[in-house]
Structure 1
């Protein structure tokens, strides 16, 4: 006898969500003596090599130089504390004829000394400040032949960073002040050595490094209570009339997601479809598939902001996660008018919970209820065969937007804006591949007989190959 079922709210795929960045209001930096933060994790070595043009006096004229800057940067800091940049140096090679021009007329040996003045450009998003960095060139003898390599060293003032997120430090154009080291019995100079203001060549990378700034813990603050989820679809609708249902076989679901801001791809562990049915309304001819699944938490690792090693555990839950653990889904079946292939359309919603985050190997406590503050809305389409395989994604519909987060942080730390800034936003993609394991009744896919397993990673089903071959 046909079984009647109720269509239920849906979700069949997962998203990848993790990360940490937000822009905050107020000035970006201040030069001062704020108390230093904890010295963990250790400092990182940073370097930048830039090309400049320096207008030396006639008859020498403008010359191209390369300036190689190195420094140690803290891997991370906290707002209200100072970021200390250490061991700053700038090395540059001066053409021999330019170096000789600073010596007394006719001299071919001697030493140069002087200074290099430049700024560190400190910026985040559209805000920036400059921190002056004076460097000293110690007396350097000219070699017998070839160019003269000068190394300028100095101390960068402590920088109090009043923002949250990834802060970049870029080198800027240097100003050179060079002169010959006078002989011990030479009279004092009556004029100051000339300054040569160089300019950076355009179209080159100038970033020395980045520092991740975390929020300062405010003692005594309380976590905000989790906001209401909003409207939740109820299950009170009457079952549709004349619906014929047929059970599906053992279906394996493989999911993959990309988060644009992170440049990361997260692959979830395979899950199994429970109570999968294909449903046909005899009166209208409409058909759809229903079922439930659950995804195991997965640990994702990536480079936050392109340079910070970050890992976090992501768990995908139903909208009604407070009362149930299984994710119910419904997908409508149709024939694609272009490819003429059987296809599936699913309008899905899923919550994401974050936990067990680490930045540079240092644990970051997100708390027990770090969630997306609203469901992630996924609209998927693609070729699908109820008793074969399916390959649906958000690509045909422009991807999905990852919402902001709520309830993230403990002990007075509000980490919601950090997660929002790094990962939340549009342009993400979700993919779900389903495989009906023919003739297999084993709960573990590894125990299924040959020819009932999903294809190897990277391979395509016949339906997917047909879809790819057809023009759109």
Structure 2
């Protein structure tokens, strides 16, 4: 297979039609628009440049804004490209010998685009460095910038973009602005001793599912016909009720098929920390108090998220498991906002109280299990938080009841919420886009309630779950993530969702 990527800027992008092993699920990356916005990558390499006076070692720093994730076939446009070349003092003597006072340059950098075992070179041409005054002593830094070609990958997996050969056209000029003789100097540079380093890694996910965008849905390139990109896709409403069973069945079927296989023949992929990022969002909903036959509003709760604390791609089992973390925050405390609710205690006595859910222990764990051996990529997300409930400002039939400052559950309880979704087409709950999570919680007995009398039995009998039964239903709606890598994106600043009953 021959792949030629030596295309000028803005020409048809390179497509690498290869089979990829790494499949990146939607839960791994920020939302598509935030991933496409990119983040700045940089790398510094020593190069050996062949100057007329001989070989000189120069330092080259390369930086560019690139996405951390993309879909197969999607055009990737490197932006804010900078190639900074530092010429040592020893390299300047030949220019001072020409009575040069300034030096400008045009750079052409070869970059190697790789996915799987296939690579193709592309040329970042016409990167220009403006005239720079030559110092009396010390190095000179030439900073070249410009537009470069797009690239697209035709298979899923981890793609890399790495700098290779560098060509410089140096233009020295005299103090009066006249060119020297010769007016230009062509210089070729190679990484020292063949040294290689990646500029960026891009997680490429398969867009060939049944609902992959068609050609009419492809957003126009920036600046084409003055068109604006379309609004980002959002998940549809919920999924069918049997989605969990389908996820379990697909996973179990694959695992059974692996019985007797050599586990060493199918490695588990654990990417480095570059996929980790932070995000913010809000969640709001309702929690039932089953004994009181009522519900209390929750939120909107502000959440600080660390995405991708742990990631395992098991290509044998065709699963991707991602763990992220969530911290609630309200006025500098790890808690949800206070909420005031009124219930009919024992079915006839109106009781009003302010409730606070305080987060205790480690951050809440967000675990997403995605099955990749089916085109829709169904996934289950489980959010597990350790909470403590505190009550204050209690009134019974309009009369204040002094419960004291520390009326709370005697121990923390575990709140587990689950959401189900799929990537192709987006539907249900997805970590990046949000949606609805539901679950049950066991409310332990209360302690510390009452100042002049022991009110623990009252609240325990009225609110707490019998035994260890998780009988209090909770339904929360999460808004889309505002991801740190895309602070100007459509989901930033984070929005407060409308809770669903």
User: Normalising by structure 1, what TM-score?
Assistant: 0.42
Higher helix share: 2
Q: Relative contact order: is structure 1 or structure 2 higher (C-alpha 8 Å, sep ≥ 6)? A: 1
Q: Which has the larger radius of gyration?
A: 1
What is the TM-score normalised by the length of structure 2? 0.40
